[in-house]
Structure 1
Amino acid sequence: MKLAVLSLFLMLPSLSCSAASTEQPVEAGTVHWGRVLETALASSGQSGKPVFALFQEIPGCAGCKQFGREVMSHPLIVAAVETEFTPLLIHNNQGGRDLEVLKRFGEPAWNYQVVRFLNAQAEDIIPRKDQVWDTGGIAERMVTSLTQANRPVPAYLKLLAAEQSPRLKEAVFAMYCFWTGEMELGRIDGVITTEAGFMDGREVTRVKYDPQVISLPQLIAAAEKVECANAVSVPAMDLPTATTKRLKIGAISGYRTAPKDDQKKQISGTAAAKLTLSPSQATKVNAWIRTDPARASGFLTKAQQAQLKGGS
């Protein structure tokens, strides 16, 4: 009996280790990865989806773990990798098949994470680039690779790349009601996020916009057209470019955010209120959910669309 108990006791560590080994390493995030290059290339050839190849140190350093927790676990990144790409994970600090793939692509061992976008012939769709370790940078390269591969780019992925971009600028618009302001200004192409707030005792909507899509004068004109520009304020450095014939333009000063209950008011009371949305998604859904639900749904992932349909 004692021998049987002892034998069972000795087996427990190996059982525990076996169970633990099935858990996904934090460095890999939450994406469901393929691990065989040839299988990924064959799948890419059949589907036309580019291969999203993550070369990662596993187990890895603190930076590798942070990349896994923050970037490769971001819900929109995960959704895009799994639906628009063929996911492939290569350990850059292992032997065997992983080492063979490293040598084939000239990837250094024990390196920080590198993402490469491959076609079915194992060729880079866009040039390899090191030190892209943030959500915005990865999202932007995903958009570029899909465009180069003549694949459709989901609206939510474009928004995520823009939302994280350092090129975004801001402007504050005063109007009669910031609930209306968020809705109307959020509909403008190039407006990435909106926020209800107060400045100089007035209700205002703070906008972040992409100057590569819409210039400041164009934004002001669009805001005037929908009667959401009784006054306009911009950062002092942008005052010289804030041209308008009718309005007086001032510098942003003393702005404060409105309470949470006043944010994205159009979403409140709809099935979309139960969704977890990125700031840019929330802006666009808020802009259209009341008047054009189908258009609002276009800014969601397939899983979010299913949730929205199930909750309506």
Structure 2
Amino acid sequence: MQKKEISYREHRELGEVAWLRDHDRALALAVEQVKPVLLLFQEVPGCSTCVRFGQDVLTHPLMVELIADRFVPVAIFNNHPGTDAEILRRYDEPSWNNPVVRFLGPDGTELLPKLADRYDALGLHEKITAVLEMLGDDVPGYFRLLGRDLLVEYGLSKCVIYTTPCFWSGETSLAQHPAVITTDAGWVAGEEVVQVHFDPREVSRRDLDAYARAEGFNPTESGGFEFDRERQFYLRKTPVRYLPLTPAQRTRINLAVPYRGWLADLLSPQQSAWLADPQLQRLSGDEAYRQDIRQSWPSLMAQLGLIGKEK
């Protein structure tokens, strides 16, 4: 067994996931914890593709948390001799290669075809979701929302702006459509509007416009959209405003609050733990929810740490 079991912060190629470095130890832990194994073959130090995979895919806080909670993650370096090379040969993986991710059951059997030749967060998200569903495990609501955020991030969503008599109620009314990912209150030429990102695979622009008109809103092609300083009006009235959130999370939470919806599934375990911490308000800014989660999360972690988990 290799002495060093975890190796990640010193290698940009590994992102923020705490990886085991011993393959057989990972399988033993998978049996003990009744979890699947997420096996990464990675070049360390690696090419630009390997570094981007580590920094763009393996650093999103919600991706990192889901992997830690639901998998036993182990990294094998595909350009190192010794034990790494032995595991590489065992799986017939090429050396000095771009990232490859395999998903194993506790007994070492492959659960799904490996993730290869795709190096974006959406690809890994889809595979992880498929593995959890295959195993009959629940896919947390916060992780499903992350997949919708990634559609926006990768330019696969569509954006439309609707005029509304009240943009705060407009946010929640439009968010009730299942294809809507995010809603944001704002202004166009002094008029109250709501900007919407939606999944075009689930609804056409024509049908979404019809839904909006039935709710009393009209599409506008005018440009110059500006965010209102109090968007997600209902969320702002709660301590959730002090949490790092993704755009899809804050939209769903803003909808849940006035309708007394259940928030627990919309937050990750770490977000829920932070929310329960009496120091949250004092240590976090009241605009944290609107900031980029990739920046606001590390900032809050530096203040509160990983609550209820080994630091």
TM-score range with shorter-chain normalisation?
Answer: 0.7 to 0.9
Q: Answer whether contact 1:288 1:296 (CA < 8 A) is retained.
A: yes
Tell me the residue number matched to 1:11: none
Tell me the residue number matched to 2:172: 183
SS of equivalent residue, structure 1 residue 280: helix
Q: Counterparts of 2:24 and 2:164 in 1: how far apart (Å)?
A: 58
Does residue 254 of structure 1 match 2:223?
yes
Q: Answer whether contact 1:179 1:196 (CA < 8 A) is retained.
A: yes
Q: Counterparts of 1:43 and 1:22 in 2: how far apart (Å)?
A: 19
1:25-44 correspondence runs (5 A) = 25-44=11-30
Structure 1 residue runs without a partner (length 5+): 1-20, 234-251
Of 146, 160, 174, which residue of structure 2 is paired with 1:160? 146
Letter in 1 for 2:88: L
Report the Cα offset of residue 290 of structure 1: 4.0
Report the Cα offset of residue 45 of structure 1: 3.1
Tell me the residue number matched to 1:276: 244
Of 202, 211, 217, which residue of structure 2 is paired with 1:230? 217
Does residue 303 of structure 1 match 2:270?
yes
Tell me the residue number matched to 2:195: 206
TM normalised by structure 1 equals: 0.78
Tell me the residue number matched to 2:91: 105
Does residue 292 of structure 1 match 2:292?
no
Letter in 2 for 1:98: D
Tell me the residue number matched to 2:287: none
Q: Counterparts of 1:169 and 1:144 in 2: how far apart (Å)?
A: 25
Q: Counterparts of 2:269 and 2:207 in 1: how far apart (Å)?
A: 33
Tell me the residue number matched to 2:232: 264
Aligned length: 271
SS of equivalent residue, structure 2 residue 53: helix
Do the aligned partners of residues 206 and 23 (structure 1) sit closer, same or farther apart at CA in structure 2, a change above 3 Å counting?
A: closer
Q: Answer whether contact 2:184 2:196 (CA < 8 A) is retained.
A: yes
Tell me the residue number matched to 1:117: 103
Cα deviation 1:198-229 (Å, max 9, x = unaligned)? 3465311111112334444554455455x3x4
Larger Rg: 1
Do the aligned partners of residues 214 and 40 (structure 1) sit closer, same or farther apart at CA in structure 2, a change above 3 Å counting?
A: farther
Tell me the residue number matched to 1:96: 82
Cα deviation 1:280-300 (Å, max 9, x = unaligned)? 11211222134426x223111
Q: Counterparts of 1:253 and 1:212 in 2: how far apart (Å)?
A: 25
Tell me the residue number matched to 1:18: none
SS of equivalent residue, structure 2 residue 249: helix
SS of equivalent residue, structure 2 residue 235: coil
Letter in 2 for 1:204: V
Do the aligned partners of residues 221 and 40 (structure 1) sit closer, same or farther apart at CA in structure 2, a change above 3 Å counting?
A: farther
Q: Counterparts of 1:192 and 1:149 in 2: how far apart (Å)?
A: 27
SS of equivalent residue, structure 2 residue 117: coil
Report the Cα offset of residue 54 of structure 1: 1.2
Q: Counterparts of 2:266 and 2:210 in 1: how far apart (Å)?
A: 25
Q: Counterparts of 1:163 and 1:297 in 2: how far apart (Å)?
A: 18
RMSD: 2.5
Tell me the residue number matched to 1:24: 10
Cα deviation 1:162-220 (Å, max 9, x = unaligned)? 22225422332221111222223223322111122334653111111123344445544
TM normalised by structure 2 equals: 0.78
Q: Answer whether contact 1:24 1:30 (CA < 8 A) is retained.
A: no
Q: Answer whether contact 1:140 1:158 (CA < 8 A) is retained.
A: no
Tell me the residue number matched to 1:194: 183
Q: Counterparts of 2:134 and 2:180 in 1: how far apart (Å)?
A: 25
Structure 2 residue runs without a partner (length 5+): 1-6, 282-311
Do the aligned partners of residues 24 and 187 (structure 1) sit closer, same or farther apart at CA in structure 2, a change above 3 Å counting?
A: farther
Does residue 131 of structure 1 match 2:131?
no
Letter in 2 for 1:146: L
Of 124, 127, 131, which residue of structure 2 is paired with 1:141? 127
SS of equivalent residue, structure 2 residue 250: helix
Q: Counterparts of 2:29 and 2:209 in 1: how far apart (Å)?
A: 47
